[in-house]
Structure 1
Amino acid sequence: MTRVRKYHLALIGVAALILVMSLVRVVSGETDITSSGTFAAALLLAVPIGLAGLGGLWAERAGVVNIGLEGMMVLGTWFAGWAGYQWGPVAALAAGLIGGALGGLLHAIATVTFGVDHIISGVAINLLGPGITRFLSEVLYKEGTPAAEAGAGITTSPAITGQTWTPSLPVFSDGPDLLGKLESTHWFLLSDVAGIVRGLTHEINILVLLAVLLLPLTYFVLWRTSFGLRLRSAGENPWAAESLGVNVYLIKYIAVVASGALAGLGGVFLVFVSTKYVEGQTAGRGFIGLAAMIFGNWRPGGLAAGAALFGYADGLQLRSSTAVTTFFLFGAVLLLIYVGLQVRRLMTNDLAGQETKRYTLMAAAVLGAVILFWLWLTVDKLPNEFVFITPHVLTLLVLLVASQRLRMPKADGVVYRRGEQH
């Protein structure tokens, strides 16, 4: 029953969010808020973040902090670009997975076998990733090599040969573009739903489908199988797991290598989108993926929500610099909804004994809503520098709010040694 209630609450939350977005779109007149173009861009931007965060989830559920996701993504991009221009997309996919997995293996050797501090090892991989790929580019893409003749440079690989599959999901996108026509009417709610559905189903990359499927698969493996139970026990209390016969070292190795492979898959996606490897194309997505995982409380569902949020913020600022100001109005509406929910709980005595604290939070929320509404009315357009950093600012704000309710695995980051009880 608890799972059913949570599932229903999630659906109600999504419906309420779409309703608020539609209301903000009508009030502000910014059609890009719920346009299919914005959501298509958001999907492309959210996938690599989600895959990196999924990699972090696997490692940290096994008790290994992995801030080296960015470096592993870089390795995935380079190996995908190198293999893709020679043998096509399938080779790019395999090579990117292997490249990221090698980064994960290096992290596992340092942290699990030699007991190196997890943060130090992650930072080292973030430094090694770009350094190794630059060295390989200078060796393999220099003038006079076949790669250079095919269009490579020191900072870029030749384009991937062959075509990447970009299907449209059946029913929604086959035949006449009914969703596109309904979106163009700009009717309240109906056109918004049509734009969102069209953006999420029309001409999507094959890796998008794979990434979406990996979320429920990860949940099933980690929360519904004996292997997942062993892996999570290694992250909560490895010594208790050891006493029950679990090979904690092996579990941690598997988890961290899988973590690197998933981060590498995120790098492959970036290469598929741009059709080649370009130095620096990860652009900090590994770190944002880590933030999305933390925002999601080390769970696949929350991680998906975090990646979607950051992807949407990035997609909106790319589509329309003026539409970014609607975040002020959107934030004001959400704060007022929060105040309304708190008033309802006070009236039903759900917060008995916490009235003073709640009144303070409600007052702060009302003040914040007033300030945000005033900013929306007075600011016509943000400077380009602020527009560009919108996703990163949003990342910090969300983590600041979410940090009040987080619970990381108890043994996350703890150096494990067999037989040494803590």
Structure 2
Amino acid sequence: MTRVGKYHVALLAVAALILLMSLVRVVTGQDIITSSGTIAAALTLAIPIALAGLGGLWAERAGVVNIGLEGMMVLGTWFAGWAGYQWGPVAALVAGLLGGALGGLLHAIATVTFGVDHIISGVAINLLGPGITRFLSEVLYKEGTPANEAGAGITTSPSIGKPTEVSFPLLSDGPDLLGKLESTHWFLLSDVAGILRGLTHNVNVLVILAVLLMPLTFFVLWRTAFGLRLRSAGENPWAAESLGVNVYRIKYLAVVISGAFAGLGGALLVISATKYVEGQTNGRGFIGLAAMIFGNWRPGGLAVGASLFGYADGLQVRSTGAITSFFLFGALLLLIYLGMQIRRLTSAELEARGVKQYTVMAAAALGTVILLWLWLTVDKLPDNLVHMTPHVLTLLVLLAASQRLRMPKADGVVYRRGEQH
């Protein structure tokens, strides 16, 4: 399929998804599903996940598994809170980036220089992050310090200023035409208006900059000589070495940049909440890693995965009752999937897959029935289950995506110059 053809398919998929969301909204009566407030919350919550995922993408494309993203995000949140209350949101952003980069540097030293197993090093970073930040809080935020007098505690920093928000011209600037159209609750039209308004009205400037990092990453990794060298280090570092690539330096750069992205995601969490709070990341580093895997180690797929997780998180924050609409939404998606597979029943590809494909189809059919039954019988989920929604969705998405994944060939392999495995 040509690149133009892929873009057309992507646009059709987005249009079909919006149509499906509108249908679910009308059937369930949950107008909040496509409200501008939900979409704005989803955007704010998706960006830290996407940045963590971008961090994982940079490291793993260079052949270094980075499950320490959570710990790097934690470092980013603390340093952002510490710098932000003293010098403002921009300082918080820079400090969070540097804090995450420090975690990335530790991971690079362990894995690239000393050859420590990547998983073990990542787990160590995840343990070190909360420990280091608690120690720093006890030292710098204790009673009698300037930070404590400004409102800090052992588990929280003083408040920092709010960043600038902007509205896009012609869409959300001036007369609120999108808001009026959204309030009509017309099928599809009000849904499109709500989505556009949520994405363009009073948007954090730092969120816009973070979104731009997605296409920038694609350009750097897939359209520059540096990106080609970095990806070659993740596919076959010994072949890259034979062509004159300094694989050690490339891996170091990639892992430090990886940590910086994760720290940036942590900083945005602090800036959105206007202060640092212990445990603020709430597993978003792991969800970012899952979004990267779902996206098949590519920025576009990563953006889709982060949007999905951010939307689930934003919906449960805005309305716990609307979460049950996911049952109907999931059932309809499975039904569409079944229809697509049934159309291919006579194709050679389906016959080649044999029993395995029929088993997947049977599981999809059973899942459709179960989800429809849950939607018809469950009025409201317990709060504990509602808060678990993003994490359960993470597992389900990874299970669905596992059929088509292809990680870099040398991902996780310990590299030593001249010692090809």
Aligned to 1:251: 250
Q: Counterpart amino acid of 1:218?
A: T
Is the CA contact (8 Å cut-off) linking 1:346 and 1:355 kept in structure 2?
Answer: no
Q: Counterpart amino acid of 1:87?
A: W
Aligned to 2:152: 152
Aligned to 2:185: 186
Alpha-carbon displacement from aligned partner over 1:360-387 (angstroms, at most 9, x marks no partner): 4333322221221111111111111111
Aligned to 1:22: 22
Stretch of structure 1 that moved more, 237-246 or 368-377: 368-377
Report the alpha carbon displacement of residue 45 of structure 1 after superposing the two structures with TM.
Answer: 0.8
Aligned to 1:13: 13
Cα distance in 1, alignment partners of residues 99 and 367 from structure 2: 46
Q: Alpha carbons of 1:119 and 1:348: their partners in 2 closer, same or farther (altered >3 Å)?
A: closer
Residue 121 of structure 1 pairs with residue 126 of structure 2: no
Is the CA contact (8 Å cut-off) linking 1:342 and 1:358 kept in structure 2?
Answer: no
Is the CA contact (8 Å cut-off) linking 2:327 and 2:371 kept in structure 1?
Answer: yes
Aligned to 2:270: 271
Cα distance in 2, alignment partners of residues 115 and 352 from structure 1: 45
Aligned to 2:281: 282
Q: Alpha carbons of 1:125 and 1:357: their partners in 2 closer, same or farther (altered >3 Å)?
A: closer
Residue 52 of structure 1 pairs with residue 52 of structure 2: yes
Cα distance in 2, alignment partners of residues 44 and 353 from structure 1: 44
Q: Counterpart amino acid of 1:193?
A: V
Report the alpha carbon displacement of residue 317 of structure 1 after superposing the two structures with TM.
Answer: 1.1
Residue 376 of structure 1 pairs with residue 375 of structure 2: yes
Report the alpha carbon displacement of residue 403 of structure 1 after superposing the two structures with TM.
Answer: 1.0
Q: Alpha carbons of 1:275 and 1:8: their partners in 2 closer, same or farther (altered >3 Å)?
A: same
Cα distance in 1, alignment partners of residues 358 and 127 from structure 2: 47
Report the alpha carbon displacement of residue 191 of structure 1 after superposing the two structures with TM.
Answer: 0.4
Alpha-carbon displacement from aligned partner over 1:61-103 (angstroms, at most 9, x marks no partner): 0000101111111111111111111112221111111111111
Equivalences for 1:11-90 in 2 at 5 Å? Answer: 11-90=11-90
Report the alpha carbon displacement of residue 348 of structure 1 after superposing the two structures with TM.
Answer: 6.5
Cα distance in 2, alignment partners of residues 46 and 274 from structure 1: 14
Q: Counterpart amino acid of 1:337?
A: I
Is the CA contact (8 Å cut-off) linking 2:52 and 2:69 kept in structure 1?
Answer: yes
Is the CA contact (8 Å cut-off) linking 2:173 and 2:201 kept in structure 1?
Answer: no
Aligned to 2:321: 322
Aligned to 1:418: 417
Cα distance in 1, alignment partners of residues 282 and 14 from structure 2: 29
Q: Counterpart amino acid of 1:233?
A: S
Cα distance in 1, alignment partners of residues 356 and 266 from structure 2: 45
Alpha-carbon displacement from aligned partner over 1:4-52 (angstroms, at most 9, x marks no partner): 1111111111100111111111111111111111111111110100000
Report the alpha carbon displacement of residue 201 of structure 1 after superposing the two structures with TM.
Answer: 1.1
Cα distance in 2, alignment partners of residues 33 and 189 from structure 1: 12
Residue 202 of structure 1 pairs with residue 201 of structure 2: yes
Identity of aligned residues (%): 82
Is the CA contact (8 Å cut-off) linking 1:22 and 1:188 kept in structure 2?
Answer: yes
Cα distance in 2, alignment partners of residues 55 and 22 from structure 1: 34
Aligned to 1:140: 140
Q: Counterpart amino acid of 2:46?
A: A
Aligned to 1:399: 398
Cα distance in 1, alignment partners of residues 134 and 100 from structure 2: 16
Report the alpha carbon displacement of residue 354 of structure 1 after superposing the two structures with TM.
Answer: 4.5
Equivalences for 1:216-235 in 2 at 5 Å? Answer: 216-235=215-234
Is the CA contact (8 Å cut-off) linking 1:72 and 1:99 kept in structure 2?
Answer: yes
Aligned to 2:408: 409
Provide the secondary structure at the position in 2 that maps to 1:363. Answer: helix
Stretch of structure 1 that moved more, 366-375 or 290-299: 366-375
Q: Counterpart amino acid of 1:154?
A: I
Q: Counterpart amino acid of 1:28?
A: T
List runs of 5+ in structure 2 lacking aligned partners. none
Provide the secondary structure at the position in 1 that maps to 2:175. Answer: coil
Q: Alpha carbons of 1:241 and 1:143: their partners in 2 closer, same or farther (altered >3 Å)?
A: same
Aligned to 1:4: 4
Q: Counterpart amino acid of 1:159?
A: S
Cα distance in 1, alignment partners of residues 346 and 21 from structure 2: 28
Report the alpha carbon displacement of residue 200 of structure 1 after superposing the two structures with TM.
Answer: 1.1
Aligned-residue CA RMSD (Å):
1.3
Aligned to 2:339: 340
Alpha-carbon displacement from aligned partner over 1:190-210 (angstroms, at most 9, x marks no partner): 001111111111111122111
Equivalences for 1:94-109 in 2 at 5 Å? Answer: 94-109=94-109
Q: Counterpart amino acid of 2:177?
A: L
Q: Counterpart amino acid of 2:50?
A: G
Is the CA contact (8 Å cut-off) linking 1:112 and 1:252 kept in structure 2?
Answer: yes
Q: How many residues align?
A: 421
Report the alpha carbon displacement of residue 158 of structure 1 after superposing the two structures with TM.
Answer: 1.1
List runs of 5+ in structure 1 lacking aligned partners. none
